[in-house]
Amino acid sequence: MKKIRVLSVLLLASSALAHSGQHAAGFAAGVAHPLSGLDHLLAMVAVGVLAAPFGRRGLLVPLAFVAAMVLGGLLGIHGVHLPFVEQGVALSVTVLGLLLAFTARLSLPALAAVVGVMGLFHGHAHGTELPPGLSAAEFFAGFTLSTVGLHAAGYGLGRLGARGVWTRRLVGGGVALAGIGLLLG
């Protein structure tokens, strides 16, 4: 019986690989999307840096971002209008940078709520920018994985500078300036 299960799994895997072209492209496009725009890249790393001082409990912050991002992405894919998405994305970069630069001390639930709203805007932008002909599920999986990786990188950076505030201030100042540039551009 075990041999039949193993053989079944191998057969299913090979048939899945035989039809991977469009889905792989959707997944790859999803992974690349957050890495290709400075607004998404900076915001997602900043979320991780903001979460770091809370230790393990701080993982609620990126989780709130990702959950809201997926919700926003679904809204965007299904054509639900969200006003001021691009301005919301640019403003989120600025606000995240300022929170870091001024080492704001929000409670964990308050920070998760603020970051969640920002994730909604970023997700909606992802959803409306789904390339035609690609699988939404594969694209979502890719950009979610990429986002989690960027949050983890920010979290690691924030943990390295956890003993002092200068890392957070330096990263925050750069992110805030980039966000202001996005708002003005």
pLDDT confidence tier of residue 96, bands split at 50, 70 and 90: very high
In a domain, 13, yes or no: no
Over the stretch 43-88, which tens digit does the pLDDT of each residue have? 999 999 999 989 999 999 999 999 999 999 999 999 999 999 999 9
In a domain, 8, yes or no: no
pLDDT at 80: 95
**Between 134 and 6, where is the model more confident?**
134
Count up the domains in the chain and report the number. 1
In a domain, 14, yes or no: no
In a domain, 17, yes or no: no
Average pLDDT of the residues in 170-183? 91
Residue where the block lists tokens 């912050």: 61
Helix (H) or strand (E) holding 114: helix 108-128
Q: Which domain holds residue 82?
A: 25-184
Average pLDDT of the residues in 102-116? 92
Give the chain's length.
185
In a domain, 18, yes or no: no
Residue 6 has pLDDT above 70, yes or no: no
Q: Are residues 118 and 67 in contact, defined by beta-carbon separation less than 8 angstroms? A: no
In a domain, 7, yes or no: no
pLDDT at 104: 79
Average pLDDT of the residues in 82-99? 94
In a domain, 69, yes or no: yes
Q: Are residues 96 and 43 in contact, defined by beta-carbon separation less than 8 angstroms? A: yes
Both structure tokens of 11:
């057969």
pLDDT at 15: 33
pLDDT at 5: 39
Average pLDDT of the residues in 153-167? 78
Maximal C-alpha separation, the chain: 65
In a domain, 16, yes or no: no
Over the stretch 24-36, which tens digit does the pLDDT of each residue have? 588 998 899 888 8
pLDDT at 25: 84
Residue 103 has pLDDT above 90, yes or no: no
Distances (CA, A) of 143 to 30, 87, 157: 4, 21, 21
Distances (CA, A) of 58 to 14, 48, 51: 40, 9, 5
Task: Tell me the percentage of the chain whose pLDDT exceeds 90.
Answer: 58
pLDDT at 164: 61
Across all residues in the chain, what is the average pLDDT?
Answer: 84
Start-to-end CA span in the chain (Å):
63
What pTM, to 2 d.p., does this model score?
Answer: 0.83
